[in-house]
Amino acid sequence: MSNPTDCRYTREHEWVRKDGDTYVVGITHYAQDSLGDVVFVELPEVGASISEGASFGVVESVKAASDLYAPLSGEIVEVNERLRDEPGLVNHHPYEAGWMLRVRGPAGASLDGLMDADAYAVYLETVH
Amino acid sequence: MTENPGDQPLRRTPLFEMHLSLGGRMVPFGGWEMPVQYPAGVLAEHHAVRNGVGIFDIGHMGQVAVSGVGALEYLQWLTPGDVSRLEDGQAQYSLLCADDGGVIDDIIIYRIGPDQFLVIVNASNTDVDFAWMRAHLVDGGRGVSQYRVNLTLLRPDRTLLALQGPRSLETLQRCSDTDLSGLGYYRVMSALVAGVDALVARTGYTGERGYEIAFDECHAGAVWNTLLEAGAEFGIVPCGLGARDTLRLEASMPLYGHELDRSVNPYEAGLSRVIRFEKGPFVGAEALQAVQSSGRVRALIGLELTVPGIARMGHQILLPSGEVIGEATSGGPSPTLRKSIAMGFVPVAQAIEGAHVCVEVRGRRLDARVVAMPFYKRAPAKRRAVSPPG
């Protein structure tokens, strides 16, 4: 699966996509494939703040728990409630229905420090 | 258990290349490099075993042949179970206990013939177990100089496969001219499987009907492929350690290094049924008798989380008041029950079915309930109607 070009990527395999004046956050295809079947996603509440590089939640696969790291700072305006009953969406549609957070960033927030799809593809070659 | 102790290279079963070609994700386990899952994923593999059939490479497990005129007497001394109750073709779940009653390993003893037994031990414990078994050939405690017994570690010459699931008999029968339908639970027989001389046992580690098949390792690929083809109609998939773990957890079967270790005695682990004092003396008997008369201090309990989340090994178990009473030994999702389950040790006084407890997961206290084990018990096999109703 190729990584969408309208997203930016972290070294911890999260993606973020600008959508109007908010940002949508999830984990990459590589991340979900490495984790295996996702059975539970622990996310913060709407209204909570996340800060770039800090853990904002946990994704549990059958075998292990893994931290989720925020690709940007901001306030959570929506969490993907479907993941409560269908955590497997993270595996099957990591860039669409398996999204996790919608975040309102600070004015003038920039994603320039994150990798674009090409840079992330190169990065994946180094972690294999 | 999943660590590779020391710097020893990981061992590989004869099916290693097969796993790679099937897309198996290889991980270290008990000193071996084994598939944790295949592309279908742990959940799909789990469901295949509950609803159809799955095949596992368990060639990492240790197989020790015990033979000779003193074999029975030796096993009676070595293990807490009554091996004299076994007839040819029968198997017994048992233990190796240390002198202090702690569990060295859990094992299965198969009686192949009058003076011929096969003992299957855990992969990670094989070397320790074999050394322990050899050391007990000379029994200082009773003045018996030497049992007339041959001990042989069969691996790597013999390998083991497991075929598990409600369609396992049909799958296996397609590969054998020997009628296997009469082989009962914990029974073992010789049969040709895919044209190969094999020992077929109706045992397993999944809580489902199933078979474990031992044969010469040079036939591993051929037998594996023949079983895969035979099971295609029933949706057979190769299954890895991940599914093996979720399946055994649902069935509340202990895993060495989790529910069992040297610091745990069989009473605490709920395995008192194994122990038969009436058979005569055995290694660890005095210590176990003391536990029996004074009563066990801890008990293994089953937990079901009543809120979303996953409890895992090492997470603390607490009373609602916040008092820590124990620790989870295993935990994870139950794909069959669609619940989150765990096992753990708590003081006997707290091991009350229905009691409300908490599990601390990353600083959060998740509500849980003490429940009866096993978490999952398969429905009895469907009987064919012999006559129309009415």
pLDDT at B379 over 80: yes
User: Among A42, A58, A62, whose Cβ lies nearest the Cβ of B332?
Assistant: A62
Q: Which of B29, B36, B42 to mutate to test the interface with A (most CBs of A within 10 A)?
A: B42
- Read off the DSSP letter of residue B345: E
pLDDT mean across residues, chain A: 95
Phi, psi of B117 (to 5 degrees): -130, 155
Q: Name the minimum distance, in Å, from the CA of A63 to any CA of chain B.
A: 7
CA distance B338 to B340: 7
SS3 of A80, please? coil
Domains of chain B: 16-57+156-250 (3.30.1360.120), 62-153 (3.30.70.1400), 297-371 (2.40.30.110)
Domains of chain A: 8-106 (2.40.50.100)
Model confidence, pTM? 0.93
Tokens of A76: 């959570």
B359 Cβ contact list (under 8 Å, min separation 6) = B303, B305, B309, B311, B315, B316, B317, B318, B328, B331, B342, B365, B366, B368
Question: B322 and chain A: CB distance < 8 Å anywhere?
Answer: no
User: Among B37, B309, B340, whose Cβ lies nearest the Cβ of A36?
Assistant: B37
CA distance B351 to B348: 5
pLDDT at B388 over 60: no
Quote the percentage of chain B above a pLDDT of 90: 90
pLDDT mean across residues, chain B: 94
Tokens of B96: 């190796």
> Which tens digit of pLDDT belongs to each residue from B176-191?
999 999 999 999 999 9
pLDDT at B387 over 50: no
Q: Which of B310, B337, B359, B366 to mutate to test the interface with A (most CBs of A within 10 A)?
A: B310
CA distance A84 to A87: 6
User: Among B37, B245, B310, whose Cβ lies nearest the Cβ of A40?
Assistant: B310
- At B276, the amino acid letter reads R
> Which tens digit of pLDDT belongs to each residue from B226-262?
999 999 999 999 999 999 999 999 999 999 999 999 9
List the single residue in A with minimal CA-CA distance to B361.
A65
CA distance B59 to B19: 12
CA distance B300 to B316: 14
| pLDDT band for position B383 (cuts 50, 70, 90) | low
CB contact under 8 Å between B308 and A40, yes or no, is yes
CA distance A55 to B256: 33
List the single residue in B with minimal CA-CA distance to A42.
B309
Residue B361, H or E segment: strand B356-361
Phi, psi of A47 (to 5 degrees): 100, -20
Compare A88 and B156 and report the one with higher pLDDT. Answer: A88
CA distance B280 to B284: 12
Mean pLDDT confidence for B106-132: 96
A63 contacts in B (CB within 8 Å)?
36, 42, 242, 245, 332
Question: B336 and chain A: CB distance < 8 Å anywhere?
Answer: no
Tally C-beta pairs within 8 A across A and B. 42
CA distance A76 to A83: 16
List the single residue in A with minimal CA-CA distance to B38.
A36
pLDDT at B386: 46
pLDDT at A110 over 90: no
> Which tens digit of pLDDT belongs to each residue from B27-82?
999 999 999 999 999 999 999 999 999 999 999 999 999 999 999 999 999 999 99
A8 Cβ contact list (under 8 Å, min separation 6) = A15, A16, A17, A71, A111, A114, A115, A116
CB contact under 8 Å between A37 and B310, yes or no, is no
SS3 of B358, please? strand
**Which value does ipTM take for this structure?**
0.90
CA distance B106 to B125: 10
SS3 of B163, please? strand
Mean pLDDT confidence for A49-69: 95
pLDDT at A108 over 60: yes
List the single residue in A with minimal CA-CA distance to B242.
A63
**What CA–CA distances, in Å, run from B192 to A95, B55, B97, B156, B174?**
50, 18, 35, 20, 11
pLDDT at B384: 45
- Is the CB of residue A72 less than 8 Å from the CB of residue A18? no
Vertex B278 angle, CA B274 and B283, to 5°: 65
CA distance B72 to B56: 31
Question: B41 and chain A: CB distance < 8 Å anywhere?
Answer: yes
B308 contacts in A (CB within 8 Å)?
40, 42, 84
User: Among A36, A42, A60, whose Cβ lies nearest the Cβ of B242?
Assistant: A36
β-bridge partners, B117: B66, B111
List the single residue in B with minimal CA-CA distance to A88.
B43
- Is the CB of residue B159 less than 8 Å from the CB of residue B215? yes
CA distance B95 to B80: 7
A65 contacts in B (CB within 8 Å)?
310, 312, 362
Q: Which residues of B58-68 are buried (b: 16+ CB within 10 A; e: fewer)?
A: bbbbbbbbbbb
User: Among B242, B340, B362, whose Cβ lies nearest the Cβ of A63?
Assistant: B242
| pLDDT band for position B144 (cuts 50, 70, 90) | low
CA distance B7 to B10: 9
